Structure 1
Amino acid sequence: MELPAARPTRRGVWPALRRRPLFWSSVTMLLLLVLVSVAPGPIAALFGHPDPRACDLAAGRQAPGGSHPFGTDVQGCDVLAGVLFGTGTSLFIGLMTTVVCLTIALVLGTIAGYYGGWADALIARLTDVFLGFPFLLAAIVVLNSVPDRSPLVLSLVLALFSWPTMARIVRGSVRAVRDSEFVQAATALGLTHGRIVLTHVLPNTLGPVLAIATTMVGSVIVAESTLTYLGVGLVQPSISWGLQLASAQSFFQTAPHMLFFPALFLTITVVSLITLGDILRDALDPKGRS
Structure 2
Amino acid sequence: MTESFITPVAPSLAGGRRHPLRRAVRRPGFLVPAAIVALLVLIAVLPGPFAALFGNPDPRVCDLNLSGADPTAGHPFGFDLQGCDVYANVIHGTRASLSVGLLTTLLSMTVAIVVGTLAGLYGGVVDAALSRLTDVFLGFPLLLGAVVVLNSAGERSVLTVSLVLALFGWPTMARLVRGSVRSVRQADFVLAARTMGLSTWRIVTRYVLPSSLSPVLVVATITVGGVIVAESSLTYLGIGLEAPAISWGLQLSSASSQFQNAPHLLIFPALFLAVTVLSIISLGDTLRAALDPRRQQ
Q: Same fold (TM over 0.5)?
A: yes
> Which residue matches 2:163?
156
Asked if 1:230 is matched to 2:250, the reply is no
> Which residue matches 2:20?
13
> Which residue matches 1:84?
91
Distance 2:244 2:46 in 1: 19
Q: Could you give the per-residue CA deviations for residues 121-174 of structure 1, whole angstroms, max 9, x where no partner exists?
A: 011110111111122111111101111000110000000000001100100111
Distance 2:21 2:117 in 1: 27
Q: Could you give the per-residue CA deviations for residues 219-242 of structure 1, whole angstroms, max 9, x where no partner exists?
A: 000000000001100100000000
Instruction: Say which of 253, 256, 271 aligns to 2:260.
Output: 253
Report if the CA contact (8 A) 2:181-2:212 is conserved. yes
Note the C-alpha offset of 1:14.
Answer: 4.4
Matched AA of 1:5: V
> Which residue matches 1:26?
33
Q: Could you give the per-residue CA deviations for residues 189-247 of structure 1, whole angstroms, max 9, x where no partner exists?
A: 22222111111001111222111111111100000000000110010000000000000
Aligned CA RMSD, in angstroms, stands at 1.4
Structure 2 unmatched ranges of 5 or more: none
Report if the CA contact (8 A) 1:26-1:275 is conserved. yes
Distance 1:242 1:289 in 2: 40
Distance 1:18 1:159 in 2: 29
> Which residue matches 1:146?
153
Note the C-alpha offset of 1:49.
Answer: 1.0
> Which residue matches 2:188?
181
Cα pair distance change 1:194/1:18, threshold 3 Å: closer
The 10-residue stretch of structure 1 (149-158 or 2-11) with the greater mean CA deviation from structure 2: 2-11
Note the C-alpha offset of 1:4.
Answer: 4.5
Cα pair distance change 1:234/1:197, threshold 3 Å: same
Report if the CA contact (8 A) 1:97-1:159 is conserved. yes
> Which residue matches 2:76?
69
Instruction: Say which of 124, 149, 152 aligns to 1:117.
Output: 124
What TM-score do the two structures reach when normalised by structure 2? 0.94
Cα pair distance change 1:20/1:177, threshold 3 Å: same
Note the C-alpha offset of 1:261.
Answer: 0.4
Matched AA of 1:33: L
Identity %, equivalent residues? 59
Number of aligned residue pairs: give it: 290
Q: Could you give the per-residue CA deviations for residues 229-283 of structure 1, whole angstroms, max 9, x where no partner exists?
A: 0110010000000000000000011111101100100011101111101111222
Q: Could you give the per-residue CA deviations for residues 11-57 of structure 1, whole angstroms, max 9, x where no partner exists?
A: 43244224311111011101110111111112111211111011111
Distance 1:98 1:14 in 2: 20
Q: Detail structure 1 runs of 4+ shifted over 3 Å in the superposition.
A: none
What TM-score do the two structures reach when normalised by structure 1? 0.96
Distance 1:264 1:207 in 2: 31
Report if the CA contact (8 A) 2:21-2:291 is conserved. no
> Which residue matches 1:216?
223
Matched AA of 2:57: P
Cα pair distance change 1:220/1:118, threshold 3 Å: same
Asked if 1:278 is matched to 2:274, the reply is no
